[in-house]
Structure 1
Amino acid sequence: MNAIDAATTPPGKGGRYRWRVCALLLAATTLNYIDRQVLGVLAPFLQNQIGWNEIEYGYIVTAFQCAYAIGLLCAGAIIDRFGTRIGYALSIGIWSLAAMSHTLAASVLGFALARFALGLGEAGNFPAAIKTVAEWFPRRERALATGIFNSGSNIGAIVAPMVVPVIAVAWGWQAAFLFTGVLSATWLATWLLTYRTPERQPKLSPAELAYIQSDPAEPITRVPWATILHHRQAWAFIVGKFMTDPIWWFLLFWLPKFLHSTYGLSLLELGLPLIAIYVTADVGSIAGGWLAGYLIRRGWSANRARKGAMLACALCVVPIVFAANASHMWVAVALIGLATAGHQGWSANLFTLASDLFPRRAVASVVGIGGFAGAVGGMMIATFAGFLLQATGSYVPLFIMAGSAYLLALLAVHALAPRLQPAALGTNS
């Protein structure tokens, strides 16, 4: 039995302050996705106003993905070096300014530059959040905490189509970008004023601190990337991200365009189906994290429980292959909603693999490298989607790719980490 399976609940949890920290992470992830989703919601309208075609829109999305990939490659190491408080602040400060800079864009190049800056800043969110969870939660609660903060990606995707069209129609599309940037800047001020690590947080009770630190002690020395990449466990996470993140990126940036072109929805009419899809995704995010913990409490090994939950999530994505030819919009919405729920449940468990398989000092770097791989995959699918849609106008091949990606990714994860044995980095690595 490994350390994950051997963990037992101490007599008392001593308080709930750690869940306030989780709420901060949830708010940050929500704002992260509101900021990046504004362009997707406005894309059908801006495509006509600015005059870009499908290929040029693909390039704009690719600019974001390219910067996101570069940022993720650097963000993990920066956060591991300077800590979550400063690292998170740098990230959200950059993306707040970048979100507001969209108001100055008036061409394909202008939007591409603004998206590039946004991608650089937003890249720090998930490495910082995962590392914060590793600092504030014992192993037995990390999947649930990750599922909760990761649900912010769906909340953001829900809020964006609720408020962005209304703001854009009332005050112009520039106001939508400005509004979301100001919200992110407000979170930054709150974070700097309130956040401390558990050891330095005066509002945390000694009992809760002891509960948070109830897992076996870990060395605090940093781990070089070369050491991380030497382990198959890292490649399990990297390959999983590379194969499945692009599906989420595709849906995030092309779903409004798909609904607009296929069912003729106007800017204001996009709100309800997008909200329905991402509400379903939000349920999937929390349920996916809960399911693995439930199975562990029922006596399943961590390996069997985590992969069982990931299999259930992967199967939920498969029916999306029928969405492109659905006869009714709400049938397509139901199929896509189920798939987004599956992705988010999958994502919660895949993120948790990083903290299951690696010590805290390496978590942000592992997540950053994996996120880089996912963003590279996102760059590839963005460019491919732009050329495919410009040439054929058909979403069928893209939805077939989406439906098959997760089962193939699970096979790869299992092949690389068949027992989910934590990586033996050693104290001097």
Structure 2
Amino acid sequence: MVENQIPVSPAIKLSGMRWVMVGMAFLATVLNYVHRLSFNYLSAEGELRKLIPDDAFGYIGTAFFAAYMISNAFSGFVIDRLGTRVGYSLCMAFWTTAGLIHAFAATPLQFGICRFMLGIGEAGNWPAAIRLTTEWFPPHERSTASGIFNSGSALGAVVVPPLVALLGVNYGWQATFVILALCGYLWLAAFWFIYYTPKENREAEKVTFKVPVTALLKTRFVRMFTLSKTFMDPVWYFVTFWIGRYLVDVHHLEMKQIGWLAMIPFIIADVGNIAGGYFTQYIIKRGMPIPRARKVAVTIASLIMILPLLAGPFVITTPISALIVFGLAGFGYTAYTANTLTFPADVVPKNSAASVWGMACVGTGLGGAVFQSISGIVLKNNAAEMGYHYAYNILFLGFGLVALVGLLIMLFFMGPLTPDKSLLRYTEGARS
């Protein structure tokens, strides 16, 4: 039986260094998304588009998310065992190297293998960043800290289109992957030099207690949170993975145009990361209990994500209106994520947070793998006869309904965001 070594949570002493540390997690998340999305834009047109049709692109996306699912099953535990410094560094080294070898791929199968390896490494970013925030931030600041580091996902998505357009057009797609990998290795060197665990956490780790994985899996929170993410998170991957092809297929834009226009939804989404965290912090300061505040914020954010998708087929008439729909969906998702990143630390012992997030993200990988393949099949089977506009409308409606299912699971089946009573005996045992 695998077990998780959990220290008793100490009182966190506030230090200005906590903003430097969450800044490093923010930069890592930017690089995570730059590596993740660069292939999607490079393959939207030109040489790679001819090599990789819609169904193959969907299957390659499935390879990434299958690996993401597998990795999330153990990455949180690995990071909890190794610690933030070693665990985060290991993840960055693995996914950066996986990104580098994209430059040497030449067939859909080879790209699928590269994407699989990338998914293995990239899954560790969020458990590592969550552990970092729980080490450096008190509970009332964690939604803000989570919003800051997670905004790197949207900023990475903002940076990728113009960056890929610039590098790809001028230097080719192979050189683009090499240059992006060099950026990852630079972060790795800086993080290894800068990061340390706060003293009070090092002292706490001298007193450990064991929370079995089976005990975590038996909690309703872990099971239902995982299931909800299976339905919620694929919406973000529809936006980030398919927007480049959508703009080419439906609105007939070229890469140079996409490079600048595709930034718009992700600029809007980036605001959601910060707004989601600050809104929760605001209503907590106004007197709303933390568990209720988190769920209120998540509900509002989820509706901001869902409603534009359901309306998309009826309101999109131009590229700009499409970008607004994508942007609102992204804003809602990132505001939702800024709050859900704090869920594990609210329910389970502090140093189980990374492990539980990894478990929940198995749902992310499963949903991503299934719905990426479905997206490719829907486009292949409908675009030829009905046109791409009709085929993508199916996806807008489908992802809106799928996310609604995820929200209902979270609200009615996940349970309260308070310490799970079944795990209290482990913390009590550590204190005795």
| Same fold? TM cut 0.5 | yes
Task: Report the counterpart of residue 360 of structure 1 in structure 2.
Answer: 350
Q: Does 1:327 align with 2:336?
A: no
Q: Does 1:267 align with 2:255?
A: yes
Amino acid at match of 2:107: S
Which shows bigger deviation, 397-406 or 378-387? Answer: 397-406
Cα distance in 2, alignment partners of residues 267 and 410 from structure 1: 35
Task: Within 5 Å, give how 1:177-326 maps onto structure 2.
Answer: 177-199=177-199, 220-317=208-305, 318-324=307-313, 326=316
SS of corresponding position for 1:221: strand
Inter-CA distance 117–57: structure 2 relative to 1 (3 Å threshold): same
TM-score by length of 2: 0.90
Q: Does 1:379 align with 2:376?
A: no
Task: Report the counterpart of residue 423 of structure 1 in structure 2.
Answer: 420
Cα distance in 1, alignment partners of residues 104 and 198 from structure 2: 41
Tell me if structure 2 keeps the 8 A contact 1:87–1:128.
yes
Cα distance in 2, alignment partners of residues 418 and 178 from structure 1: 46
1:107: Cα distance to partner?
Answer: 0.7
Inter-CA distance 357–339: structure 2 relative to 1 (3 Å threshold): same
Once the two structures are superposed, residues 107-135 of structure 1 have per-residue CA deviations (whole angstroms, 9 ceiling, x without a partner) of 10111111111111111100110111111
Amino acid at match of 1:323: G
Tell me if structure 1 keeps the 8 A contact 2:67–2:119.
yes
Task: Within 5 Å, give how 1:11-410 maps onto structure 2.
Answer: 15-45=15-45, 50-199=50-199, 220-317=208-305, 318-324=307-313, 326-393=316-383, 394-410=391-407
Cα distance in 2, alignment partners of residues 346 and 16 from structure 1: 27
Inter-CA distance 44–238: structure 2 relative to 1 (3 Å threshold): same
Cα distance in 2, alignment partners of residues 255 and 401 from structure 1: 16
CA RMSD in angstroms, aligned pairs only: 2.1
Tell me if structure 1 keeps the 8 A contact 2:59–2:372.
yes
1:146: Cα distance to partner?
Answer: 0.2
Amino acid at match of 1:377: G
Cα distance in 2, alignment partners of residues 372 and 46 from structure 1: 34
1:412: Cα distance to partner?
Answer: 1.2
SS of corresponding position for 1:392: helix
Which shows bigger deviation, 398-407 or 366-375? Answer: 398-407
Inter-CA distance 219–389: structure 2 relative to 1 (3 Å threshold): farther
Task: Report the counterpart of residue 5 of structure 2 in structure 1.
Answer: none
TM-score by length of 1: 0.90
SS of corresponding position for 2:341: helix
1:49: Cα distance to partner?
Answer: 5.1
Tell me if structure 1 keeps the 8 A contact 2:229–2:361.
yes
Amino acid at match of 1:348: A
Tell me if structure 1 keeps the 8 A contact 2:14–2:137.
no
1:48: Cα distance to partner?
Answer: 5.2
Cα distance in 2, alignment partners of residues 247 and 410 from structure 1: 12
Inter-CA distance 259–322: structure 2 relative to 1 (3 Å threshold): farther
Inter-CA distance 304–406: structure 2 relative to 1 (3 Å threshold): farther
Tell me if structure 2 keeps the 8 A contact 1:324–1:332.
no
Tell me if structure 1 keeps the 8 A contact 2:272–2:332.
yes
SS of corresponding position for 2:44: helix
Tell me if structure 1 keeps the 8 A contact 2:43–2:49.
no
Task: Report the counterpart of residue 205 of structure 1 in structure 2.
Answer: none
Cα distance in 2, alignment partners of residues 218 and 405 from structure 1: 45
Cα distance in 2, alignment partners of residues 282 and 392 from structure 1: 33
Tell me if structure 2 keeps the 8 A contact 1:59–1:383.
yes
1:359: Cα distance to partner?
Answer: 1.3
Amino acid at match of 1:25: A
Task: Report the counterpart of residue 206 of structure 1 in structure 2.
Answer: none
Tell me if structure 2 keeps the 8 A contact 1:73–1:372.
yes
Task: Report the counterpart of residue 3 of structure 2 in structure 1.
Answer: none
1:411: Cα distance to partner?
Answer: 2.2
Tell me the number of residue pairs that the alignment of Structure 1 and Structure 2 aligns: 406
1:273: Cα distance to partner?
Answer: 2.2
Once the two structures are superposed, residues 177-230 of structure 1 have per-residue CA deviations (whole angstroms, 9 ceiling, x without a partner) of 11111111111111111111011xxxxxxxxx6xx99xx999743422211111
Inter-CA distance 49–397: structure 2 relative to 1 (3 Å threshold): closer
Inter-CA distance 277–49: structure 2 relative to 1 (3 Å threshold): closer
Percentage of pairs with the same residue:
35
Which sections of structure 2, spanning at least 5 residues, go unmatched?
Answer: 1-10, 384-390
Amino acid at match of 1:332: A
Which sections of structure 1, spanning at least 5 residues, go unmatched?
Answer: 1-9, 200-208
SS of corresponding position for 2:66: helix
Amino acid at match of 2:127: P
Task: Report the counterpart of residue 7 of structure 1 in structure 2.
Answer: none
Inter-CA distance 47–405: structure 2 relative to 1 (3 Å threshold): farther
Cα distance in 2, alignment partners of residues 242 and 220 from structure 1: 32
Inter-CA distance 347–163: structure 2 relative to 1 (3 Å threshold): same
SS of corresponding position for 2:255: coil
Inter-CA distance 47–396: structure 2 relative to 1 (3 Å threshold): farther
Cα distance in 1, alignment partners of residues 36 and 313 from structure 2: 24
